Amino acid sequence: MKDNMPFTPFHFGPSACVALPLRRYIDIPTFLLANIAIDIEPLLVLGLSLSYPLHGYAHTLLGASFVGLFWGLLAHAFKKQLKLLMNNIFFLSYEPAKLSKYIFSGILGTWFHVLLDSPLYADIKPFFPFSQNPLYGTVTHGMIYTICAVFFIPAFAIYFMLIVSDRKIEKTS
- What pLDDT does residue 173 have? 61
Measured CA distances, 49 to 45, 53, 57 (Å): 6, 11, 17
Distance of CA 96 to the CA centre of its chain: 19
As a whole number of angstroms, the distance between CA 54 and CA 49 comes to 10
pLDDT (0 to 100) of residue 8 = 63
* Segments of the chain scoring below 70 in pLDDT: 1-8, 170-171, 173
| pTM for the full predicted model | 0.89
**Mind listing the pLDDT tens digit for each residue in 58-106?**
999 999 999 999 999 999 999 999 999 999 999 999 999 999 999 999 9
Q: What is the DSSP string of 44-103?
A: HHHHTT-SS-SS-GGGSHHHHHHHHHHHHHHHHHTHHHHHHIIIIIS--------HHHHH
